[in-house]
């Protein structure tokens, strides 16, 4: 049966790899990267696979070509097989196994990377592929095994995921000391009212929730600088011209003589539990997943908040 599948005119690893490439990229044009020759090759190989299986693997959706239900199933089967084969090949050559992990910029910079030396020393046979992604992208990629691990908030986890709680991410109002009146204890409302404020921009969950809470408490948030990530807002803070609302874990890289965190009660509602997630199917597909997961869960933990 196996020989029949890969006989002349049947399946080929090249065709399946090309199909997986198209599936991951989200279309022939994107996978080809603007190369007409490569685009033609991908289209031909998909048609050959459709002829072999006797079913359509793609369908038109508006002006785009997307995978059919059969195509989605084939991409999943082939993708998982290639991952297992690649692990076997690397193990035979005594090379490190690749594992991918996705998280937002803040968790990567202030939680993952500070522990990277410990992870490397504990797992020298593992090479990490680190991706900065939005929460929904992480959840989706872990679900379909395009990503091995993710760091996301608990309320974004789906039934397709296994998870390990890593602690609670809280937020603080950080202020340059030189902008404060040294003669009195700083009041957070006064800080927000007088010092230019920076945090993340956009229509993300954090910003929307923050503004909703401020409105409920009749607090006027006058953001002078909106950034695309928390690390960018932290850079603005370090210019000592802005105060900034940041994850509390950012304090680890701030000079305590130059910056101070001021308690702001309205930020308590922004706390959210962070979890390490993975797909339980990956443990069967890649046995080393369980070991990597254990080490990640051990070293990547948020500090406990007082009280």
Between CA 70 and CA 76 the distance in angstroms is: 10
Q: For the chain, first and last CA: distance in Å?
A: 64
DSSP 8-class letter at 9: T
pLDDT tens column, 206-257:
778 887 877 887 777 778 898 999 999 999 999 999 999 999 999 999 999 9
Could you state, in order of their start, the residue ranges of all structural domains in the chain? 2-80, 99-165+274-299, 171-270
Q: pLDDT band for 2, please (50, 70, 90 cuts).
A: very low
Q: State the CATH class of domain 171-270.
A: alpha beta
Between CA 130 and CA 114 the distance in angstroms is: 14
Average pLDDT over residues 40-49: 86
Q: Residue 167: which H helix or E strand, with range?
A: strand 162-169
State the pLDDT at residue 248. Answer: 94
Taking every pair of C-alpha atoms in the chain, what is the biggest distance, in angstroms?
85
The answer to whether the CB of 177 falls within 8 A of the CB of 261 is: no
Ranking 180-184, 193-197, 247-251, 285-289 by mean pLDDT, the lowest is 180-184
Domains 2-80 and 171-270 fall in the same CATH topology: no
pLDDT at 51 over 90: no
Architecture field, domain 2-80: Orthogonal Bundle (1.10)
Phi and psi at residue 297, in whole multiples of 5°? -65, -25
DSSP 8-class letter at 288: T
Architecture field, domain 99-165+274-299: 3-Layer(aba) Sandwich (3.40)
pLDDT tens column, 137-186:
999 999 988 899 999 999 999 988 999 999 999 999 999 999 987 767 77
Rg (the chain; Cα; Å): 24
Classify residue 147 as exposed, middle or buried by CB count within 10 Å of its CB (0-12, 13-18, 19+).
Answer: buried
Question: Where would I find the beta strands (DSSP E) of 25-111?
Answer: 58-61, 64-67, 97-103
Overall size of the chain counted in residues: 307
pLDDT at 300 over 90: yes
């Amino acid at each position: 049966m196996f020989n029949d599948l890969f006989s002349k005119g049947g399946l080929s690893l090249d065709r399946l790899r090309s199909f997986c490439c198209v599936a991951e990229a989200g279309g022939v044009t994107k996978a080809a990267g603007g190369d007409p020759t490569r685009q033609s090759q991908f289209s031909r190989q998909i048609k050959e696979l459709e002829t072999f299986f006797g079913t359509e693997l793609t369908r038109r959706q508006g002006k785009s070509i997307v995978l059919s239900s059969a195509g989605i199933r084939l991409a999943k089967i082939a993708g998982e097989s290639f991952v297992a084969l690649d692990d076997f090949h690397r193990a035979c050559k005594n090379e490190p196994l690749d594992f991918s992990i996705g998280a937002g910029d803040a968790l990567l910079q202030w939680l993952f990377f500070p522990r990277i030396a410990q992870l490397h020393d504990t797992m020298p046979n593992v090479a990490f592929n680190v991706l900065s992604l939005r929460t929904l992208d992480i959840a989706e990629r872990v679900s379909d095994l395009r990503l091995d691990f993710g760091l996301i908030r608990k309320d974004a986890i789906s039934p397709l995921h296994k998870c390990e709680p890593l602690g609670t991410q809280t937020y603080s109002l950080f202020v340059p000391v030189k902008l404060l009146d040294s003669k009195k204890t700083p009041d957070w409302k006064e800080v927000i009212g007088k010092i230019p404020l920076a945090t993340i921009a956009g229509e993300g969950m954090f910003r929307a929730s923050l503004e909703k809470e401020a409105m409920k408490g009749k607090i006027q948030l006058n953001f002078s600088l909106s950034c695309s990530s928390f690390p960018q807002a932290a850079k603005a803070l370090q210019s000592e011209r802005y105060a900034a609302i940041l994850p509390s874990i950012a304090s680890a890289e701030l000079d305590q003589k130059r910056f101070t965190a001021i308690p702001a009660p309205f930020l308590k509602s922004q706390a959210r539990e962070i979890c390490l997630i993975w797909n339980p199917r990956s443990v069967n597909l890649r046995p080393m997943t369980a070991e990597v997961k254990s080490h990640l869960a051990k070293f990547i933990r948020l500090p406990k908040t007082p009280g």
